[in-house]
A and B are shown apart, each in its own frame.
Chain A
């Protein structure tokens, strides 16, 4: 699976006397909830000083992936470049204000597309990020707004954490890419919000799978105000969150976290978000080069996989898991990871 790499400046003009560099090897790990990792090795680039982006192209020329260009390192006439996920633009600690209201008194942010427009664009306006980019939020317009899920606060916090919390709450994922501006015939960095709505049924025994499960997580929260109001939330075994105790669906042993705030609404929103962040804390890794792995080659981050025979000892068990990461390389290897359990879950 050969391809070539191309360095681009911040306006996506390719650099160098010969702009295409055949890649001797490359690896690409795309992740839904963490930052992507990319490495590409080619013959030395003669001009990398103005490099802002590095593009990995398929052999037909189609742009497979674009990332910010890391510092190239050269050894024995081969240069290795590590790509930095473009979503690092959102890895900022800034003031986020969800309390703004319109002249009519309604909150300015009261739709999912409004929330993502604020998080991906408006909150960074005027900060001279130095990179032009577009956002595509068409699919966010199809998602129903839930007021309880947003803590109406105005405070300095991690923008990326808030984006991931919104992704977890609404089953959305923000994917970096580059779209073609047909008029200027130029690539434009674009962040696309995609719904996770496709479903595929699979049986774990059909694939060579490695599984991890983290049971050491908070599965109940209690929101509490200083005046004494309380509300309990439960994370159920089907990865939904609710307020009713259900002995058949609640997870055991219970691990409870109490969140106390002056503002009761803020406490409730944070309590719900804590449990939403703990959904799908499983990890199943499927090597697509084995057994029936080829049947999953078209699966991307818009899929939920309904995994039956999840517990090998009990064939009736099933779990619904989103896609966590897709890893591929120049040798044709491809691996799919399901769930939302980070590679470093044991350090959390």
Chain B
């Protein structure tokens, strides 16, 4: 009798859960390492693809597309824990879910690696059904509702003013683990079908802060400005202050860090936005470029966005 074994790639061993802060999007660290639950085996994944709904009018020859909507599919996985302490491991998993179940503060994230690219999705566990022990393993079926499309990376870009060189240049470093990417310019690349929200942080000192977003033409030149956030004339921020324009959570606020105590205070700044312009920025599909009020050497503009994918 001959047996043939196929050595092939597999995504199952790459399944991971972790958790990020709902506000800062940074991975939550516990005991010096990213906080992750333990599973010994994962099986039978479903819902990892994509689903879209198309409204069409049927013609005699071709159909006319009226509306195209990307839908989110529930993700189902069977989790297993082995050994004599399998139930204890299941209970530890359950406790981890309960600790980070508050959607106001946290986002539980699921990810897997596909052809060496890790894909993430923010989700909320809506069902965990314990199947019980089957010999050496305890299994449970988990169902989760996605809160975002799948994404392959989040991007955090920092722009500074280099007056020594006489021009504004950009450099980046990731603020968080897992999915962070480097960007070498202030160009945002949105490969998704729809406009994506941006979280902009303007770090002082800054006078008359503003930030705008422009199209980038196919030749690479800067096109029309299609979004701008500006504040009341006369508004300025000091070095220990920053303005956050968060299109993910629909919040605009000023953060002040006390020089003596390090305490942070937060103040809603929606009424200080110049109402002739926008309040939040969204990047259209394709390439866009960000510009901000960076006249002072010490000022910074940080742009956070997510590269969603199907």
Chain A positions within 8 Å of B, measured between CB atoms, are 4, 6, 13-14, 16-22, 57, 59-63, 180, 182, 185-187, 289-291, 293-294, 332
Asked whether A291 lies within 8 Å of B57 as measured between CB atoms, the reply is yes
Asked whether B232 lies within 8 Å of A185 as measured between CB atoms, the reply is yes
Which residue from A17, A185, A290 sits with its C-beta under 8 Å from B57?
A290
Candidate in A19, A62, A182, A294 with the most chain B CB atoms within 10 angstroms: A19
B227 at the interface (CB under 8 A from A): yes
Task: Give bound CA distance, A6 to B275, whole Å.
Answer: 14
Given contacts A17-B268, A19-B268, contact A61 B273 (CB under 8 A): yes
If over half of A's interface residues share one DSSP class (helix, strand or loop), that class is named, otherwise mixed; here it is loop
Scan residues 251-306 of chain B and give those whose CB is less than 8 A from a CB of chain A.
Answer: 251-252, 268, 270-276, 278-282
Given contacts A60-B227, A60-B281, contact A20 B271 (CB under 8 A): no
Please report the total number of B residues contacting A with Cβ < 8 Å: 26
Task: Give bound CA distance, A289 to B54, whole Å.
Answer: 12
* Chain A residues closer than 8 Å to B247, beta-carbon distance: 59
Task: Give bound CA distance, A293 to B229, whole Å.
Answer: 33
* Chain B residues closer than 8 Å to A21, beta-carbon distance: 250
* Chain A residues closer than 8 Å to B275, beta-carbon distance: 63, 180, 185-187
Some 29 contacts from A to B, beta carbons below 8 A apart, are A16-B268, A17-B268, A20-B250, A20-B270, A22-B249, A22-B250, A57-B279, A59-B247, A59-B250, A60-B227, A60-B280, A60-B281, A60-B282, A61-B229, A61-B273, A62-B279, A180-B275, A180-B276, A182-B276, A185-B272, A185-B275, A186-B275, A187-B275, A289-B66, A289-B67, A290-B57, A290-B66, A291-B57, A332-B67
Task: Give bound CA distance, A182 to B251, whole Å.
Answer: 22
* Chain A residues closer than 8 Å to B281, beta-carbon distance: 60
* Chain A residues closer than 8 Å to B197, beta-carbon distance: 59
* Chain B residues closer than 8 Å to A16, beta-carbon distance: 268
Task: Give bound CA distance, A180 to B66, whole Å.
Answer: 35
Least CB separation from B277: chain A residue: A61
Asked whether A13 lies within 8 Å of B271 as measured between CB atoms, the reply is yes
B55 at the interface (CB under 8 A from A): yes
B268 to chain A, nearest CB (A): 5
Given contacts A289-B55, A290-B66, A294-B66, contact A61 B271 (CB under 8 A): no
A3 to chain B, nearest CB (A): 9
- What 1/0 mask marks residues of chain B from 222 to 259 whose CB sits below 8 Å from any chain A CB? 00000101001000000000000001011110000000
A316 to chain B, nearest CB (A): 25
Given contacts A60-B281, A61-B279, contact A185 B274 (CB under 8 A): yes
- In the A-B complex, list the 7 residue pairs whose CB atoms are closest, starting with the nearest: A61-B279, A180-B275, A19-B270, A60-B278, A20-B250, A4-B250, A61-B278
Task: Give bound CA distance, A19 to B66, whole Å.
Answer: 36
B136 to chain A, nearest CB (A): 44
Asked whether B276 lies within 8 Å of A60 as measured between CB atoms, the reply is no
Which residue from A14, A62, A290, A294 sits with its C-beta under 8 Å from B271?
A14
Task: Give bound CA distance, A289 to B251, whole Å.
Answer: 31
Least CB separation from A178: chain B residue: B275
Task: Give bound CA distance, A4 to B275, whole Å.
Answer: 15
Least CB separation from A332: chain B residue: B67
* Chain B residues closer than 8 Å to A185, beta-carbon distance: 232, 272, 274-275
* Chain A residues closer than 8 Å to B250, beta-carbon distance: 4, 20-22, 59
What would 9 more interface pairs be, CB under 8 Å, given A61-B273, A62-B279, A185-B275?
A6-B270, A13-B271, A16-B268, A60-B281, A60-B282, A185-B274, A186-B275, A289-B66, A294-B66
Task: Give bound CA distance, A61 to B229, whole Å.
Answer: 10
* Chain A residues closer than 8 Å to B278, beta-carbon distance: 60-62
Task: Give bound CA distance, A14 to B197, whole Å.
Answer: 23
A50 to chain B, nearest CB (A): 14
A187 to chain B, nearest CB (A): 6
Task: Give bound CA distance, A291 to B272, whole Å.
Answer: 43
* Chain B residues closer than 8 Å to A59, beta-carbon distance: 197, 247, 250, 280, 282
Least CB separation from B273: chain A residue: A61
Asked whether A60 lies within 8 Å of B57 as measured between CB atoms, the reply is no
B13 to chain A, nearest CB (A): 37
* Chain B residues closer than 8 Å to A6, beta-carbon distance: 270
Least CB separation from B227: chain A residue: A60
* Chain A residues closer than 8 Å to B282, beta-carbon distance: 59-60
Asked whether A18 lies within 8 Å of B251 as measured between CB atoms, the reply is yes
B269 to chain A, nearest CB (A): 9
Task: Give bound CA distance, A186 to B282, whole Å.
Answer: 24
Task: Give bound CA distance, A49 to B270, whole Å.
Answer: 19
* Chain A residues closer than 8 Å to B268, beta-carbon distance: 14, 16-19
Task: Give bound CA distance, A185 to B251, whole Å.
Answer: 19
A44 to chain B, nearest CB (A): 13
* Chain B residues closer than 8 Å to A63, beta-carbon distance: 275
Asked whether B270 lies within 8 Å of A14 as measured between CB atoms, the reply is yes
* Chain A residues closer than 8 Å to B279, beta-carbon distance: 57, 60-62
* Chain A residues closer than 8 Å to B271, beta-carbon distance: 13-14, 19
Least CB separation from A13: chain B residue: B271
* Chain B residues closer than 8 Å to A17, beta-carbon distance: 268
Least CB separation from A18: chain B residue: B268
- What 1/0 mask marks residues of chain B from 101 to 128 whose CB sits below 8 Å from any chain A CB? 0000000000000000000000000000
Least CB separation from A185: chain B residue: B232
Task: Give bound CA distance, A57 to B247, whole Å.
Answer: 13
Least CB separation from B272: chain A residue: A185
A254 to chain B, nearest CB (A): 43
Task: Give bound CA distance, A328 to B95, whole Å.
Answer: 44
